[in-house]
Amino acid sequence: AQSVTQLGSHVSVSEGALVLLRCNYSSSVPPYLFWYVQYPNQGLQLLLKYTSAATLVKGINGFEAEFKKSETSFHLTKPSAHMSDAAEYFCAVRSPYEDMRFGAGTRLTVKP
């Protein structure tokens, strides 16, 4: 069975600082991995996805994530946080022919 664990329900960074949101997954077969973002009062928006091509995936708004099979991780990073990055971020895993499983979400706060 597949599952996702997001470490830290809340993360706070200063504007301009590194953003690191952690995600570990469990899957019996090579998975597809996703990061979605939800801005206040909006739906989920796809940030980036890993589908067994390059292990370093670049997404929108300067975010990227690296698939590390040995660590079963897919952490999301951004070199320099912006106030507009404040949102809730969800990591998700989907194995072929299975439904999507989401983590509990990490709320990112950016301090001026």
Partner 1 sequence: EAGVTQFPSHSVIEKGQTVTLRCDPISGHDNLYWYRRVMGKEIKFLLHFVKESKQDESGMPNNRFLAERTGGTYSTLKVQPAELEDSGVYFCASSQSHQETQYFGPGTRLLVL
Q: Which residues bind partner 1 (CB under 8 A)?
A: 4, 34, 36, 41-46, 49, 90, 92, 96-97, 99-105
> CA 7, CA 53: separation in Å to the nearest integer?
25
CA 12 centroid distance within chain? 15
In the complex, least distance from residue 70 CB atom to partner 1, rounded to whole angstroms: 25
Q: Closer to partner 1 by CB, 62 or 105: give it.
A: 105
Those residues with Cβ within 8 angstroms of residue 6's Cβ, 6 or more apart along the chain or in another chain: 21, 22, 23, 89, 90, 91, 103, 104, 105, 106
In the complex, least distance from residue 54 CB atom to partner 1, rounded to whole angstroms: 17
Q: Closer to partner 1 by CB, 18 or 39: give it.
A: 39
Regarding beta strands 64-68 and 56-58, do their DSSP bridges make them parallel or antiparallel, or are they unpaired?
A: antiparallel
In the complex, least distance from residue 81 CB atom to partner 1, rounded to whole angstroms: 23
> CA 76, CA 47: separation in Å to the nearest integer?
10
Q: Closer to partner 1 by CB, 1 or 83: give it.
A: 1
Q: Closer to partner 1 by CB, 17 or 107: give it.
A: 107
